[in-house]
Amino acid sequence: MKNVTFTGETDTKTYNGKEQSITGIEVSGLADGHTYTGLTYAAKGTNVGTYDGAFSGDLKIMNGTEDVTSLYNVTKTPGKLTITKASIALTVTGGSDSVVYNGKEQSIEDISVKGLLDGHSYNGVGYIAKGTNKGVYDGALSGNVVIKAADGNDDTANYTPDNRPGKR
């Protein structure tokens, strides 16, 4: 018997909020003129992590129109798809403002968020900067940002939030 190895593709991709896949197969050990059919391979994933690939289908090794699969010792080695965090800098910035002194406590609670992928939303974080007398008052962000994908799943682990308080 002749040894033949089918190796599934291994690759690293950056998180983009959508399902990603790899499908390549590398073959070593097939005799000249022999081809294969019926075997497919895929590793699929959406979120940050590592996904094992899998082969499927009924493998046939052919010499022209003759099935010669029985002449081979077949090894299938799956690869892996790794999805890494994107360099999506999710920036949560507290508002800044200047107001005229009126003798009463004044505050600002605005937040701006930059870096969300289309269809993603955030919650769980608040902001306030407040003061009464003339001066500059540092604001404070509170809570932990939670990022939801369009389907409602928690996608926070796929982002690297950068929180920046503002001033009042």
> Residue 168: what pLDDT?
40
**pLDDT for 17 beyond 90:** no
What pLDDT band is residue 16 in, cutting at 50, 70 and 90? confident
Per residue in 24-58, pLDDT (tens digit) is 999 999 999 999 999 999 999 998 999 999 999 99
**What are the two backbone dihedrals, phi and then psi, of residue 12, each rounded to the nearest 5 degrees?**
-120, 130
- Average pLDDT of the segment spanning 76-92: 83
Of the spans 30-44, 83-97, 129-143, 154-168, which averages the highest pLDDT?
30-44
To which residue do tokens 């097939």 refer?
30
Residue 59 has pLDDT above 90, yes or no: yes
Mean pLDDT of 83-102: 75
| Strand ranges across the sheet with 25-28 | 25-28, 2-8, 72-77
Q: What is the pLDDT of residue 92?
A: 66
pTM: 0.64
Among the listed residues 122, 124, 6, 128, the one whose alpha carbon sits nearest the alpha carbon of residue 61? 6
